[in-house]
Amino acid sequence: MATPEALIEFTGIPLKHPELYKKSYMITGKEETIVPIITQENKQEISFAIWGLLPENYDEDWLEFQNLVDTLTIKSDELKNNEFINKIKNINRCLILVTGFFTTYLKNGKTHQYFISAKENHPFYLAGYYNKLDDGFLTFTLLLTPQNEIIKKYQNLTKYMPTILDSEDDKNLWLSDEITINQIEEFIPNSSCLPLNITQVKDSLEYS
């Protein structure tokens, strides 16, 4: 995760609650974590949200809920029929600020993990959905789309990847109040042209 200064420089907007921000070198989704996001409701500040959607009136432990219902991610082809998403009254879209994500490739009985990042390691946006709990906290889920040809070379345990939004048009459309589900389905196939660094644990590979 980037430094506060890097986030502000990249987005051009301030942090809403800078005291909440703690830089993390790795986020696994196995524990409650706060991540910077830009919401559809407030595009002028960087907000912070808990990774993993929770029901609005939920007041128990985050981990207990995630053990029952994994809401860290949602696949794009399940948007219309996802029962949990459809029950959330105040669900909206957000941009998730990251410096990269991990993929895993199984070969000859062994797993190889790769870190996917942007050139020069600057932050970039992933698409997601968020909601606001009754106590005011935000929670979010990552939107997954079918993996592109680049990621296929470094991931074979799933056919999906996070949705990278790197063009201004896509970012503005994703946070627009006017966008329809049909428009979302049209641009959701991952066509990002963001130049990527692909780094293995021991070996470093570069793709541009």
CATH code of the domain covering residue 71: 3.90.1680.10
**Six-digit token pair at 79?**
């948007």
**Six-digit token pair at 84?**
């949990």
Q: Is 28 part of any domain? A: yes
In order along its 208 residues, the chain shows pLDDT tens digits of 678 889 999 999 999 887 776 666 667 777 888 899 999 999 999 999 999 999 988 888 888 889 888 899 999 888 878 888 888 888 999 999 999 999 999 999 999 999 999 987 889 999 999 999 988 899 999 999 999 989 999 999 999 999 999 888 888 889 998 887 777 777 665 567 788 999 997 654 444 4
pLDDT at 208: 42
CA atoms lying within 13 Å on the CB side of residue 103: 25
Q: Is 108 part of any domain? A: no
pLDDT at 193: 77
| Alpha-helix residue ranges (DSSP H) falling in the chain | 4-11, 62-68, 83-87, 149-152, 168-175, 181-187
| Residue 14: domain span | 4-100+121-147+161-190
DSSP 110-122: EEEEEEEEEGGG-
Q: Is 12 part of any domain? A: yes
Q: Is 125 part of any domain? A: yes
**Six-digit token pair at 61?**
């432990």
pLDDT at 37: 97
pLDDT at 82: 83
Q: Is 33 part of any domain? A: yes
Q: Is 197 part of any domain? A: no
Q: Is 86 part of any domain? A: yes
Please tell me the total count of domains within the chain: 1
| pTM reported for the whole predicted model | 0.89
Q: Is 15 part of any domain? A: yes
